[in-house]
Every structure is written in structure tokens, then in C-alpha cells.
Amino acid sequence: MSNEVLIEKVDGVMIITINRPHVRNAVNRNVSYGVCAGLDEMDASDDIQVGILTGAGGYFCSGMDLKAFVNGEVTRVEGRGILGIAMTPPKKPIIAAVEGFALAGGFEAMLACDLIVSARNAVFGIPEVKRGLAAAAGGLIRLPRFIPQKIAMEMALTGDHIDAETLFRHGLINRLVSPGEALNEAKNLANKIKQNAPLSIAASKKVIVEQIDWSRDEMFKKQEEITSPVLKSKDAIEGSKAFSEKRKPNWKSI
């Protein structure tokens, strides 16, 4: 992995940092494959419960490196999209910590994250139409599922930027913080999540992500298929015992 992607592991949390601040963390091939490798490592590690995706130098990610694109460089992971997250998000929870710009492919990578913490002065957008491109890394598909369709349509057709306060009002952003504090707040959120049972976390994320495609007739059956192992697990007993005994649970499924 190149130094264009930094990986830090602290107490069950993996922090993946795009490290190209001189180009506002624009994505080249090394960055896409580096982030993808970090996400795969996170999912495979028993020691990591939550991930954070962020950028260095006060920027999240300005999207695809257009110079690399013009030179013929493939800036996405084959079969998985930009940063290896657009088409195949990780199984474990991932939080986007956004400062500065989250544009184009960077915005789309953020949409693939489970939670979003943003600085109040951050700027967002899918400006692909201004470059003769299309927001095909998830922007055109995910965004209208998360915010009102008319707002998503305006963003897609004008390519204009939108501010963090507006996206927060529309429910896309979980936490708004002072500039420079996005990563710290993402760590606080990650620390809350990692205290909970790993099996429960994984099942809860899976249900919420997949239920959008379930019909009314099948939704409880499909949910049961995912959650039944959780209810039968040692953690279900441990969590109940810990609550009654007023102590911190010792999860068995880590």
C-alpha cells in the first residue's frame, strides 16, 4: 500500500485516510486500491469493529483525479467501483468523517458509508455533468434514496455544490461539527458502536441495507433469516446477564 492511503488501528477502530491533500485527495489508482485493501482488512479482522473513512489536509475527497483519467489511468477497482466501496460497501460499519470538499466520486464514496459526520463548512456535490461525465459511482442511484428526489435531481442536473447544513436538514448527515472536528466526532461515534455486540451490529446493518428491496410479504421472513442467529447466540444471554448484573458485557463473538 502506498503512502497515499494511511491506515491506523486504535482500540477496535480502523481509520482509513486518503493522503493526497495537494490535489484535495483526488482519487487515482493507488488510492482506490489502497482504500479497498483497507476495507477488506477491516472486514477480515476480528480486532476491528468499526471503520472511519476520511481525508488528510482538511479535505475529504474531490473525486476522480481528472488528470489521471485523461492519461488513461483506471481510477476505480474492477468490479467494485471507486475506492472499492461504491459497489461493495464493507460488512462492518463505516463512518465518513468529512472536512472541506466531498465531490463527485468522493461524494459517492461517502454515500456508500453507513454514517456521516461533517464539518459545518464542508461542501458537497456531484458535478460530473459539468465535465461531460455522469455520477455513475452511486450518486444517481443512492442519493435519491437518501434525500428528496427533487433535491437529488437538482444536484445531478446542475452539478452545483450544496452545503452541509442543507444536507443535514434533509437527513443525509448524522452529525454537524465545527471545522476540524469531524474526525474526533467520528471517533466518538465509532466508540459508541464498538461497545455493542458484534453479531448484533452486523445483523442490524445487513437488515437496514437490504430491506429496501424487500416486499411487504417477505420482509419479516428475510429479517428473521438474518437476526435469528443473533437471538440464539451466546451474546444474547451475555447481554441480558450483564444488564441485570449492572456490568459491562463480555461479548463472545468478537
Catalytic residue among 73, 108, 185, 225: 108
Angle, vertex CA 47, rays to CA 172 and CA 186, nearest 5: 25
- Catalytic (active site) residue 128: yes
- Catalytic-role residue among 4, 99, 128, 185: 128
How far apart (Å, rounded) are the C-alpha atoms in residues 235 and 216? 30
Do the Cβ atoms of 190 and 182 come closer than 8 Å?
A: no
Question: What does the DSSP assignment read for 187-229?
Answer: HHHHHHHHTS-HHHHHHHHHHHHHGGG--TTTHHHHHHHHHHH
> Rounded CA gap, 30 and 231, in Å?
42
- What is the separation, in whole angstroms, between the first and last Cα of the chain? 27
Residue 243 half-sphere exposure toward CB, CA atoms < 13 A = 7
Distance CA 86, CA 63 (A): 12
Altogether, the residues listed in the chain come to a count of: 254
Q: Is 41 marked active-site?
A: no
Report angle CA 181, 174, 9 to the nearest 5 degrees: 55
3-state secondary structure of 247: coil
- What is the chain's percent helix, strand, coil content, to nearest 5? 45, 15, 35
Residues known to be catalytic? 108, 128
